Every structure is written in structure tokens, then in C-alpha cells.
Amino acid sequence: MKVFKFGGASVKDAAGVRNVAGVLKHFALDDLLIVVSAMGKTTNALEEVVWAYADGRDALAKVAELEQQHFAVLREVAPEDAGARTALEDQFHALRSQLKQPVSLDVDHYYDQFVAFGELWSTIIVSAYLNAAGIGNKWVDARTIITTDDRHRAANVKWEMLEYNCEKYLPSFDHLPHRIVTQGFIGRTEDGDTTTLGREGSDFSAAIFAYALDAESVTIWKDVPGMFNADPKRFPNTRLLEHISYKEAIELSYFGASVIHPRTLQPLQRKHIPLYVRSFIDLSAPGSTISEATDHDTLIPSFIVKPNQLLVSITPRDLSFIVEENLGGIFKLFARRNVRIDLMQNSAVAFTVAIEDTPRSRALIEELRNEYEVLYNEGCELLTVRHFDEPTLSQLTEGKRILIEQRSRATARYVTKAK
């Protein structure tokens, strides 16, 4: 069986929902699990509902707007499906009654309860439409399969429960055509509370299902024809990454490319399940493949720019050497304040890091100043080039002041500032 994932942009309206059927018909697949995100910007809208509820403001108007949008799409794509209409009504009713409960203290907890509705609504509509269009399928509540801990908004999956859950709650694979429509992003604790896996978590859900069911492959359908060697919004002449390894994709996302989250790749890598990233607009476009490394890997220069960086150098006040003990203490402060180090370098008396310029980073600098002398340069850019060549490097750094340069075999990194 295969796993297909459709993101919010691919089901943002009735035309998008119909296009899902177009994709499925094109491939004529029977054995399929289809993971669907919330429609369009629904998750953002539901976040606003959460913040309104938390502040004691009225969120019902926003909910009514979402209800109107979802029912308009359902009426358009599956007007005859009374069951789907009732299911959708029930889910809106459930959200409204939750909004009437007194505000509890834990925002993250009710964030998950509210925001999960986006995925429930969209999958009811997509499932109803596919059935109406002759693509028989069963709607499954992903929360019955994905059991998590109670770390709300960033829940951890209980991998050991997956097999049992699949056996118990997934409709049997004996009856073909076997198609399941389910939600991305959401799970449930053993106590029955809804959880979410973090924003953009639907790709991860697709990987979890693929892992649990030993899928042949996962395909993520996007509004772009695959993964590129640089952000097309920032650079001209970007090129498609036709084939890259799991490791390369993890490296690229670590350096800041918004390709696929490493968390999505790990379960796939463990079971050697290939990931395809393809265009739902152009079905003939080959897209990108992420799998084991091969001789045909696309090793063209890929570049990633992270703007808004601080280059911070940390020196012991008595100019004592930077040794493991100070480094241990410094790392602990970064971890405690949850500030990610994007690049680091050390000399005898200074430890230098590039970090994103955020209020958290500024607060950390103040804290470090209790023990160290801290100097920083603001407005820097961090440039990472994988599989670099000299012409690319000089082109990318032209007209910039280079504050740090680091090279390893496959990666060149620069901290630069405008001249």
C-alpha cells in the first residue's frame, strides 16, 4: 500500500478537493491511505479562536465563518451526502460546546482540542466527495491510531502502540478497493485527550502511517513541482533536486531549507520507505525523490540563506582559555533558553556563535554577561552551500563582508554582512 498526503493548499476550496480525485484517478490506486490537512488557512484561523477564548473574547463569529466556508465546500462537492452533513454539523457543535467551558489554565491543552477540528472537518469533506465521485473510501479518525504522550502542541508518538492500534481500528485490508482517508497532525493520549504533533505536522503523520503499515512509498502533493536547490522566491534559476538521500534531506533542513522536516524523514529512513514530493497541479512532472543514496543523486550546489542573525562572541572575563568546562556551562544556558546555535567556532579565548536575532536570544546575551564578556554583530546573514563550487561561492558572497567562513568537504558556510 501507499500513502498520499495532501496539504492545506491542495484542499483550500471545492476545486482543490475535486483535484484530489483527479490525482487519485490518474494513478488508479486501490491500496491507499490518504492523509489530509486542514483546508487552506483553517489552522491559523483556529489559532485565533484559541487566543480569543484564552483572553475571554468572543470567538463564535470566527467559528461561524469557518462553518459557513466548510459547508459551502461540502454543498458544492457532495450535496447529497446527508451523513457527511450531519458529521460536519456534529463537529462544529462539539467545538462550540467546548468553547462554552470555562477557560482552564493550560492553554496548550485546549489549543490541541480546538485546532484539531480543522483536520476533522477537511477529511469529512474530502472523504464524502471521493465517495460521491466513485472513489470508495473509509474515513478513519487518526487519533485512534496515533497514540501520543501528553506534551500538547508537540506530542511524542508512542511507536510501540501503532501496530496494535492499526490492527484494532483500521478497517481490514481484505476488502478491495481499500482506501482510507484520515487526518494529519493530530493524535490522542491514552487518557483520551486530543494532541497535535506541531505545526506542519501532517507530513510527519504521513510518515508515521507509512511506518506503521510498511508502506511502499509516501507521496507529498504540493503546489510546487518538487524540492529545489534554493528558495525560488529568493534566487533566480533554481533547479529541481531530482533525487537526494535521506541524509542529504536531513542536512538541508538542518541548515534551514524548508524542505521536509527531519522528523518526517526518520521513520521513513528506518524502514527504507521512499518519499516523493510532487505537484498536484502538473501530474506529469516527475518531482523529487528522497530515499537511500544512489549514484544518481543530485549533488548540485544547494544554498540556504538565514537572514536576521546575530554573531555573538563570548569571552571569559579573565581571558582564561575557553575549555570544556566553560563550554559546558555556555551550552546549558543556550539549551535552557531554547536558543538554537546555527553555527559555532572557537579560539583560545573566545567562543563565537551565530544565532537568530530574537527577544530570547537578546535575553540570553544579557544572562551570559553575568559571567562573560559578550560582543555581538547584528544584521548578519548565514549562508550555507552544500556541494559547493568556487563560481557559486564567489557569486553568492559577492559584495558582502565575510565575518566567518567554514568549509568541510560537502558544505561551505559563511556569516556575512552587507558592505
Number of residues in contact with Mg ion under rule CB under 5 A: 3
Instruction: Give every CB contact of residue 45 below 8 A, 6+ residues apart in sequence.
Output: 62, 65, 66, 118
Given 37, 195, 309, 352, the residue binding ligand ASP (CB under 6 A): 37
Asked whether the beta carbons of 48 and 115 are under 8 A apart, the reply is no
**Does residue 407 touch ligand ASP according to CB under 6 A?**
no
| Nearest-approach distance from CB 37 to ligand ASP, in angstroms | 3
Asked whether the beta carbons of 302 and 257 are under 8 A apart, the reply is yes
Asked whether the beta carbons of 123 and 163 are under 8 A apart, the reply is no
**Does residue 38 touch ligand ASP according to CB under 6 A?**
yes
**Does residue 253 touch ligand ASP according to CB under 6 A?**
no
Cα separation, 233 vs 263, in Å, equals 25
Closer Cβ to ligand ASP, 207 or 322, answer by number: 207
**Does residue 301 touch Mg ion according to CB under 5 A?**
no
Applying CB under 5 A, the span of 3-11, 118-126, 190-198, 345-353 interacting with Mg ion comes to 3-11
279 binds, among Mg ion, ligand ASP, none (CB under 5 to 8 A by kind): none
Cα separation, 224 vs 196, in Å, equals 26
| Nearest-approach distance from CB 120 to ligand ASP, in angstroms | 11
| Nearest-approach distance from CB 37 to Mg ion, in angstroms | 5
Cα separation, 109 vs 124, in Å, equals 24
**Does residue 187 touch ligand ASP according to CB under 6 A?**
no
Give the gyration radius of the chain's Cα atoms: 24
**Does residue 194 touch ligand ASP according to CB under 6 A?**
no
Cα separation, 285 vs 273, in Å, equals 21
**Does residue 183 touch ligand ASP according to CB under 6 A?**
no
Q: If we measure between CA atoms, which residue out of 385, 62, 19 comes closest to residue 229?
A: 385
Binding mask 30-49 for Mg ion (x = CB under 5 A): -------x------------
Given 3, 7, 87, 249, the residue binding Mg ion (CB under 5 A): 7
Asked whether the beta carbons of 345 and 404 are under 8 A apart, the reply is yes
**Does residue 259 touch ligand ASP according to CB under 6 A?**
no
Closer Cβ to ligand ASP, 109 or 239, answer by number: 109
Given 123, 202, 289, 313, the residue binding ligand ASP (CB under 6 A): 202
What DSSP letter does each residue of 84-131 carry, written as one string?
HHHHHHHHHHHHHHHHHSPPPS-HHHHHHHHHTHHHHHHHHHHHHHHH
Given 4, 8, 53, 123, the residue binding ligand ASP (CB under 6 A): 8
Q: CA of 52: how far to CAs of 7, 45, 49, 60, 183, in Å? A: 26, 11, 5, 10, 25
Residue count of the chain: 419
| Nearest-approach distance from CB 7 to Mg ion, in angstroms | 4
187 binds, among ligand ASP, Mg ion, none (CB under 5 to 8 A by kind): none
Given 118, 225, 267, 301, the residue binding ligand ASP (CB under 6 A): 118
Applying CB under 6 A, the span of 194-202, 248-256, 284-292, 350-358 interacting with ligand ASP comes to 194-202
184 binds, among Mg ion, ligand ASP, none (CB under 5 to 8 A by kind): ligand ASP
Give me the numbers of helices (H) and strands (E) for the chain, helices first please: 13, 16
Cα separation, 72 vs 70, in Å, equals 5
Closer Cβ to ligand ASP, 4 or 303, answer by number: 4
Q: How many CB atoms lie within 10 A of CB 333?
A: 16
- From the number of C-beta atoms within 10 Å of its C-beta (0-12, 13-18, 19+), residue 138 rates as middle
309 binds, among ligand ASP, Mg ion, none (CB under 5 to 8 A by kind): none
Task: Enumerate binding residues for Mg ion (CB under 5 A).
Answer: 7-8, 37
By the criterion CB under 6 A, which residues form the site for ligand ASP? 7-8, 37-38, 43, 118, 184-185, 199-202
